[in-house]
C-alpha cells in the first residue's frame, strides 16, 4: 500500500477502481466521477463488489480512513493505494466531482 497524490489518482481513475469510504452524508459533498461508494464500516462485507484483478485507490475526506481501508484491502489480496489528503485535497486542486 502506498499513499498517492490527487494528480496520480486523476490519471489512474480511468483504469483503476476508486473506492470512496466516506459515510453516506459525506458523499453528498461530491465524489470522484466513477468512484464506488462503500462506507468503511461496510467494506469487509462488500469486498465482493470489487474486481480483484484491478488496482484499487481508496478515498475519504482527509486520508485517514482511506489508509485503513487500503490496508484492509491489501490484506485481502488487493493491490490497494490510498489518496493522500482525501477529498479535501481533491477539491482544493479543482479536480472534478460528481
Cβ-based neighbour number of residue 22 at 10 Å = 23
Position 5 pLDDT exceeds 90: yes
Neighbours of 91 (CB within 10 A): 15
Please report which helix (H) or strand (E) contains residue 8, including its range: helix 6-12
Domains of the chain: 3-92 (3.40.250.10)
Distance CA 50, CA 12 (A): 16
**Which residues are tagged catalytic?**
60
Report the distance separating Cα 72 and Cα 36, nearest Å. Answer: 16
35-74 pLDDT, tens digit each: 999 999 999 999 999 999 999 999 999 989 999 999 999 9
pTM of the model: 0.95
Amino acid at each position: 500500500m502506498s499513499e498517492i497524490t490527487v494528480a496520480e489518482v486523476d490519471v489512474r481513475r480511468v483504469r483503476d477502481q476508486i473506492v470512496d469510504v466516506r459515510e453516506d452524508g459525506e458523499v453528498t459533498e461530491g465524489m470522484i466521477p466513477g468512484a464506488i461508494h462503500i462506507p468503511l464500516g461496510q467494506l469487509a462485507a462488500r469486498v465482493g463488489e470489487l474486481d480483484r484483478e484491478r488496482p484499487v485507490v481508496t478515498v475519504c475526506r482527509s486520508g485517514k480512513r482511506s489508509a485503513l481501508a487500503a490496508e484492509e484491502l491489501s490484506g485481502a489480496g488487493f493491490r490497494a493505494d490510498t489518496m493522500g489528503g482525501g477529498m479535501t485535497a481533491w477539491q482544493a486542486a479543482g479536480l472534478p466531482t460528481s
